[in-house]
Each structure stands twice: as structure tokens, then as C-alpha cells.
A and B are shown apart, each in its own frame.
Chain A
Amino acid sequence: MASFACILMAESRIAVARSRFGQTSRRDAWWIELVPVVVVLGAFSVYATWRAFENEFYEWGPYLSPFYSPLIKITWWPVSPALLILWAPLGFRATCYYYRKAYYRAFFLDPPACAVGETRSHKYRGETAFPFILQNLHRYFLYVALIFLIILWYDAIRAFWFNGRFGVGLGSLVLLANIILLSLYTFSCHSLRHIVGGKVDCFSCVSFGRARHSAWQGTSFLNEHHMLFAWTSLFSVGLSDLYIRLVASGAIQDLRLL
């Protein structure tokens, strides 16, 4: 491998003039696509942090906020129980291939947009060094996310049972919509697509090849919409928590439909 590197170093340097930060010949307002990412991700981060530390108004009747689920109450834990579990969804989203694109562009401006100059730096190391080399652990956050998914499905189903009787409140529907969107986001994950079949070169040569090919095709179909699910599930988590907070704090009453 060293010889390959030598070839590259010896022959491949591309000597061309580089752009200054923000320099471009593009005519369109390239910066506009950064604005919603900065606003939404920024606002969500602030809201989620505040709610994680708030440590109240996270459950009402059969509803439990996704920020606090699974609810782990330990007597010696001095602060909010949300802080015990939020590392998992945070890690899953932070290492997600879609969000990486979004925040590298919007927050690190690396690059701010295609064919737009960025801060020139020969120290750029991409995802080869700490901390971004940890992005390679995305699949482990996926495994944890799959466990969380089961718990959140349990929460969503439980939200249809009021004092031991079946019922439908607006909160039940909000939590159901949330878990459906979270499931779509998780099952469209690039790492899952790789694990279920993407790493197979020859489906007709391996055990369960037909099933793995079908699984790979299914996740590939969902994967095409991964960005959509990433955003909609982010909104649904935030709105689910907000709804439960408003109901639990008495600011509004839960709308019972059945």
C-alpha cells in the first residue's frame, strides 16, 4: 500500500488556484439551503436540551414523552432521567449519514455549498481522525436505536389505554405518528441497508440470499427517502414531547376522540 501512496504523492498533485471563503461564480442564493438546517437543528437542540434538564411534565395518563422513554428512575441519580437515555438517539442522529451532510454544510461550512469556496485548510482530515472518526460507530447506535424503537412502540400502544380501557386521545395519535416516522427513519438507515444485504456481493451464492436481497431492496427503497424521514421524525419527536408537556402542565387539555 505504501507504494500506492508514493505514486499518488509523486504524480498526482493538482496545482490550481483555490477560492477564498464564500467565493463562487454561482448566481443562485446558495446560502438559502443552509438557513432551515441551522434554524431547525439549532432550535431542536436548544429545546431538547432544555426539556432534558427540566425533569417534569413528561408524562400524563398513558402518555410518556419520547425524550424520557424508557423512563429510568434511579434514586441516587441526582438529575433528570432523560440524561440517562438521550445519548442513544442523539448518537444515532449525530452519526447518521444524512445529518452528517446537513451539519457539515450548515454548521461547519465544510463546504457551505457545492462549488462555493471554503476556508482553505491543509489540516483537513475529514473522518479519518478524532472526533469525526467516531462516525464509524453509527451501526452501534443503530443497534441501540432498534431497541428504543421497540420501547417506543410499546409506549405508543400503551397510549391507547386509559385506565385499563381502550380509548383514543389526540396524544395517542401523536405518539403513533411519531413512532411510525421513527420506524421509517430507522429502517431507511444506510448502515441497516448494509447489514441486511448491502455487504453481500452475490445474493445467489449465499445462504438466505433471496430473503437478504428482498430485505436489501426494501431498505434501499426506504433509504431513497432517508432525508425526508430524518426531518419528519425530528419534528414528530419534538412535537410529541411538546404536546405531552402542554397537557401535563395543564396548559391545554388532551382532546379525547374515543
Chain B
Amino acid sequence: MPDATFKIFRGDRGGGKLVEYNVPIATGMVVLDALHYIQAHQAPDLAVRWNCKAGKCGSCSAEVNGRPRLTCKTRMDALPLNEPITVQPMKSFPVIRDLVTDVSWNYRVNRMIPPFTPRADVEWKMDQRDVDRVQEFRKCIECFLCQNVCHVLRDHDKGEQFGGPRFFVRIAGLEMHPLDGLSRTDLLKDALGIGLCNITKCCTEVCPEDIQITDNAIIPLKERVVDDYYDPVRWFLRKLKGKKRK
């Protein structure tokens, strides 16, 4: 097979540039293999975050030819080799060095979410049909590609008002849990700003675990927020019965 030319971002928070490397291609190779080859033979100081090389740890997220992807799941035979392949760090997070970004903002947002809180009178038994729905959300590997591609964070810089798709997935898993008794719609509406999401589905497009983030997590959560805040009939009935929101 021919060699591939890579253009890889080298630099840090202060700036950087794309540096060219040639890599011999072998059958079955993925982009992360090429990065390892470059580390081993040409640039031992190239910073790359990785762990499992099996698409399960979510560490090796980057932008390959401008598309947010896991480098360990991006096969070389799926890329055009007649032109240089660019590999850049995730754009929505500050670069630490080369392809490694600082994703700690996500962990701070995560800490805001009240964890699983069982109902007071819960019977610790679950029906399979109740569990099926939330299992999809447990597939998330926290690669943060959805956070990276979301234009609310990427282009509008709304990190201070918006939680992002990863955390809507987490909240969906909690809200739809058959034994959980807590409502998080106030958190969704106010602090995590789910209304800023205009459901353009880029998060779903890049998810390496094929989680239907928009259709199965974000839109159902938006509908729950409508139930509690924007439905005039429900509001009227609540007033009539003297009830408060859940």
C-alpha cells in the first residue's frame, strides 16, 4: 500500500501549526496506529491521549479531515490517501499540547447533576421493558465528540449557560430510570440551558456509540420541560388543583 501524508497539529494553548509526516500504510490500520508510528519513528514528543484502542475508553477524540472522530475507529482505507490527512485537536476545548485537550470543563458540569435518587417507597425490582430505554444512554463512553461538535459550545461559546449533549444523555438516563424519583427539569431549563439546543443533530451524527442523542435523549427531555414550563393547559390545571411542579 502507498504511504500516507499526515498534517498534524503541533503546538499548545499559545498557538501551533500543522506539521507534515509520511507514514507507511498497512492493511487494517487506523489513524491512531499512524499516530503511534509517528511517535515511534519521527516525533517521540507528539502528545496523543489514548487508552484502549478499541473504541470504548473515549480518549482518542480528535478531528480527522475536519470531522470529529475517534482516531482508533477511523480506518485508513476509509480516507482519501491522494491528499494529506489532517489531524487536529477537538476545537471546542483548550489545547494542552498537540492533540491533547483540556476537557475538565465537562467534569465540572457533570458534578452539577443530582445523581440517581430512588423514590421514597421504592421496591427494588425493575421490569425489563422499563430498563430497555435507559440502557442506550449507558453506552456513552464520554469521548466528548458530541460536546465538541455542538455549535452552541463550538461557535456560540455558551459554556457558561449550556450543559451540552453528553449531559443531556446522562440526565435522560436518570430521568427515565424507573426507580428514580427526582425531577431535573428545572436544572435542564435553567442552569443547563436545554432551550439553547436547536436540535440540529450534529451530536447524533458524530456519536461513535450510535446513541440517538437528539431523538431519544434531548427531544424527550425538551418535551418534559414543556410539560413543566411551557404547556398552558397543564399550567392552568396545576393552578386549578393547587399543585406545584413535580
What is the interface of chain A, defined by CB distance below 8 A to chain B? 1, 4-5, 7-9, 11-16, 18-19, 24-27, 97, 100-101, 104-105, 110-111, 114-115, 117-118, 120-122, 124-128, 132-133, 136-137, 139, 190-191, 193-194, 198-199, 201-205, 213, 223-224
Residues of A within 8 A of B94 (CB): 14-16
Per CB-CB distance, the 4 closest pairs between chain A and chain B, nearest first, are A25-B66, A26-B66, A4-B191, A126-B196
Tell me the complex Cα distance, A123–B160, Å.
13
| Contact between chains at A18 and B130 (CB < 8 Å) | no
Binds A, one of B19-27, B49-57, B218-226, B236-244: B218-226
Chain B contact-residue range equals: 35 or more
Residues of B within 8 A of A13 (CB): 159-160
Contact partner of B219 (CB less than 8 A), chosen from A9, A16, A97, A111, is: A97
Residues of B within 8 A of A26 (CB): 65-67
Residues of A within 8 A of B230 (CB): 133, 136-137
Tell me the complex Cα distance, A9–B157, Å.
12
Contact partner of A126 (CB less than 8 A), chosen from B92, B155, B197, is: B197
| Contact between chains at A198 and B220 (CB < 8 Å) | yes
| Contact between chains at B92 and A16 (CB < 8 Å) | yes
Binds A, one of B31-39, B40-48, B70-78, B170-178: B170-178
Contact partner of A115 (CB less than 8 A), chosen from B68, B222, B223, is: B68
Tell me the complex Cα distance, A205–B155, Å.
43
Q: List 5 A-B contacts (CB under 8 A).
A: A27-B65, A101-B200, A104-B200, A133-B230, A203-B178
What would 17 more interface pairs be, CB under 8 Å, given A105-B200, A117-B155, A194-B220?
Answer: A12-B109, A12-B160, A13-B159, A16-B95, A26-B65, A118-B151, A122-B157, A126-B195, A127-B196, A191-B223, A194-B223, A194-B224, A199-B220, A199-B227, A202-B130, A202-B179, A205-B178
Residues of A within 8 A of B63 (CB): 25, 115
| Contact between chains at A201 and B109 (CB < 8 Å) | no
CB interface residues, B 184-208, toward A, < 8 Å: 186-187, 190-191, 193, 195-202, 205-206
Interface 1/0s, chain B 117-154, versus A by CB < 8 A?
A: 00000000001011000000000000000000101111
| Contact between chains at A118 and B198 (CB < 8 Å) | no
What is the interface of chain B, defined by CB distance below 8 A to chain A? 63, 65-68, 80, 83, 86, 88, 91-95, 105, 108-109, 112, 127, 129-130, 149, 151-161, 175-180, 186-187, 190-191, 193, 195-202, 205-206, 214-215, 219-220, 222-227, 229-231
Residues of B within 8 A of A199 (CB): 220, 223-224, 227
Quick one: which of A114, A118, A139, A191 has the most chain B CB within 10 A? A114
Tell me the complex Cα distance, A9–B158, Å.
10
Tell me the complex Cα distance, A234–B84, Å.
42
Tell me the complex Cα distance, A100–B219, Å.
12
CB-nearest residue of chain A to B153 = A14
Residues of B within 8 A of A132 (CB): 198
| Contact between chains at B108 and A25 (CB < 8 Å) | no
| Contact between chains at A111 and B187 (CB < 8 Å) | no
Tell me the complex Cα distance, A27–B230, Å.
41
Residues of B within 8 A of A8 (CB): 108-109, 112, 159-161, 191
Min CB–CB distance A31 → chain B (angstroms): 13
Tell me the complex Cα distance, A205–B178, Å.
9
Min CB–CB distance B162 → chain A (angstroms): 8
| Contact between chains at B191 and A104 (CB < 8 Å) | no
Min CB–CB distance B85 → chain A (angstroms): 9
Min CB–CB distance A191 → chain B (angstroms): 6
Residues of B within 8 A of A128 (CB): 193, 195-196
Tell me the complex Cα distance, A4–B191, Å.
6
Contact partner of B198 (CB less than 8 A), chosen from A16, A110, A194, is: A110
Tell me the complex Cα distance, A235–B165, Å.
33
Tell me the complex Cα distance, A12–B229, Å.
26
Quick one: which of A1, A15, A115, A122 has the most chain B CB within 10 A? A115
CB-nearest residue of chain B to A198 = B220
Tell me the complex Cα distance, A170–B158, Å.
54
